[in-house]
Chains A and B, each alone.
Chain A
Amino acid sequence: MSDDADPRSAALGTEGLSKHFGGIVAVDEVDLAVESGELRAIIGPNGAGKTTLFNVVTHALAPTSGSVYLDGEDVTDVPQERRPHLGLARSFQSNELFAELSVLENVRVIAQTAADGTFSFSLLGDGRAVRADEARDILARVGLSEHAETEAKNLSHGDQRRLGIAMAIATEPSVLLLDEPTSGMGPGESRETVELVQSLQDDLGLTVLMIEHDMEIVLSVSDRITVLNRGSVLATGTPDEIQGDDDVQDAYLGGVREEL
């Protein structure tokens, strides 16, 4: 099983994408074709290269070889800071924040960047007023309105995860990469967060790639699932297809079951 679609016509596509660290192959010839509006889960054991794949797709790390396509356009060599302006946004596995700034300012400064571009000589007026209404709307969407004036570092872990999603949304993306949005959350909070992702996807017409460990969540919400193992794609398919795949059972799901 693999992606049948053409990566060059997908919302997000990769072709032979690889990342080597010296002799270590972290991402190995990955082909992806994520359709517009799809929710794609990326699963795989620890060290499978999931986060590295995100880093290469967003050009936080330059790929060793291969190509990345966004809406049919080859963006392989587009620098990292340009990509959010082309519609590609991400959240992080760890809580990356502007720690000493208010929650509102965390989102607002990104909304401002989305409007102003990678660099702008905006030297007039009060910065804190620029796009503040849009930022408040986004905070309302993710349920952080009451914490708007809280310093980001003082939020609870779960709220910091949500703030990460809010910041990604503030870039006005078409394709959203979420790196374990539910990590460190209890079952109830995880469920809420996934519902939040789904509602954002529906309302904003997003294409979502989500790294996720909770198999129950993955199987219930994904349109398709890509299984990574040792840096390469083991299988891609619908939840049903993935559950029925022998290779996947052996390499991943089986392993989990045996542990249980």
Chain B
Amino acid sequence: MSRDATAGVLERLGAVELGVWQVPLGLLAVAVLLRPVVSHDLMLGYPQVATSFLIWMIIVASFNLLMGYTGLISFGHAMFMGIGTYSVAIALSSFAVPFLVAAPLGILLSAGVAYLVGRLIAHKGEIYFAMLTLAFAKSAHFVANYNPGGLTGGTTGLADGTMPAWIETSRGFTYVALGGFRIDWYWAVAAVFVVGMLLLWQLVRSPFGRTLVAVRENEALARAMGVDVRRYKVWAFTFAAAFAALGGVLLEINNQGATLSELSIVTSGNIIIMAVLGGANYFFGPLAGVFVWMFVEEYLADFHTLVLPLTEVPLARIELAGVLVYWQFFLGLLFVVAVLVSPREGILGLLKTVLGRLSARIRGESE
């Protein structure tokens, strides 16, 4: 393709006015394309993990409602996800409550805890708020570990009797069996993903969400201009917890139970890193962050030998398995670079800048 033609295509792409449909279509595209892309031979080559990708995208996006849109940094977000996971696991294993009853209750419980915690700490300064979320998350982990009344299963977590009857598994795949027919678990999650993310998107574009952004930008100014900053923060915290718990209840089925890692500080830390890595400034940033993080985790864990050159006749074979098991180290390095370059832009911001420059250059040279 000539330069002129390329520029023409880029211009036409830019001229497509998606407007308000941009985000809904983008979410739909992610839900539909993620599994085929991930399971392609050049990518991972197997589809099972795609479901986890979607669930974690909901969880990290819920965190970004706090970090990206309200300017609140919580070090304990996994707690609100874990409350969802454990609520469902306990309800199923100990009380035989149906999943479809337990899941909304788990989400409400998580939101309720967040509301109370938020009322206590939302007005504290950034550092103190972060430390207090850490403290609450740590105590939730302690309680689950202590196994009160045998409900939480302590260090082993909950596995027995934690699956609803309508979930079937065979040969590594999970299905939702409804009446006579069954659908793939991925598509059930994809439906929840699209609906949940649309709700979250409406939240950030609403008048309420725009006020959150004003609070993020300049809290003192917002207060001076008539905004009850504390109440907005409390409700942002509450909504974020509800969406995290939505991811958490899906995780319960996906992981076949609840484990302590769902409440751990390390998980909270990973959530922060994924959000920053993807780009906290963007609604799709957390999605990009989850994709990169989890893809690298899966890909590098299976990557043993680098064959050079990448052709039929290899000249050199480099054994990398011993190095690449430390995939988190490499992602950590990438995280450090992302924060140093621009803490709120992440991979998505970088991509946008590069594409913008590219199209400007092509256009400029074709004039």
Contact = CB atoms under 8 A, between A and B. Distances in A.
A189 B219 CA distance: 29
Nearest to B209: A127
Contacts of B221: 92, 96-98, 167
Contact of B226 (A81, A97, A100, A101): A81
Interface in A69-119: 80-85, 89-90, 92, 96-101, 105, 109-110, 112-114, 116-119
B226 to A, nearest CB: 4
B319 to A, nearest CB: 47
B224 A60 contact: yes
B175 interface: no
Interface residues of B, number: 27
Contacts of B229: 81
A113 B223 contact: no
B228 A101 contact: no
A193 interface: no
Contact of B228 (A81, A96, A130, A168): A81
A126 B20 contact: yes
Contact of B207 (A58, A90, A99, A130): A130
Interface residues of A, number: 41
B217 interface: yes
B203 interface: yes
Contacts of A58: 224
A60 B226 CA distance: 12
Interface string B196-212: 00000011011111110
A84 B210 contact: no
Given A98-B214, A98-B221, A99-B218, A123 B203 contact: yes
Interface string A177-192: 0000000000000000
B207 A81 contact: no
Interface string A5-28: 000000000000000000000000
A90 B20 contact: no
Nearest to A105: B210
A141 interface: no
Given A97-B221, A99-B217, A99-B218, A127 B208 contact: yes
A163 B225 CA distance: 13
A124 B211 contact: no
Nearest to A128: B210
A83 B209 CA distance: 23
Nearest to A153: B217
A101 B224 contact: no
A126 B223 CA distance: 22
B118 to A, nearest CB: 13
Contacts of B263: none
A122 interface: yes
A129 B220 CA distance: 24
Contact of B225 (A105, A113, A128, A130): A113
B226 A85 contact: yes
A207 interface: no
B211 A109 contact: yes
B115 to A, nearest CB: 13
Interface string B211-251: 10110011011111111110110010000000000000000
B80 to A, nearest CB: 20
A99 B220 CA distance: 13
Contacts of B206: 122-127
Given A98-B218, A123-B202, A84 B208 contact: no
B199 to A, nearest CB: 9
A81 B205 contact: no
Contact of B220 (A96, A116, A117, A171): A96
A151 B203 CA distance: 23
Given A99-B218, A100-B217, A110 B207 contact: no
Most buried by A among B202, B214, B220: B214
A81 B222 CA distance: 8
A125 B203 CA distance: 9
Given A99-B218, A119-B231, A84 B225 contact: yes
A126 B19 CA distance: 12
B272 to A, nearest CB: 21
8 contacts: A99-B217, A113-B211, A114-B226, A118-B226, A120-B207, A123-B206, A125-B206, A127-B208
Given A80-B224, A126-B206, A130-B207, 7 more contacts: A81-B228, A84-B226, A98-B218, A112-B207, A113-B227, A118-B231, A127-B211
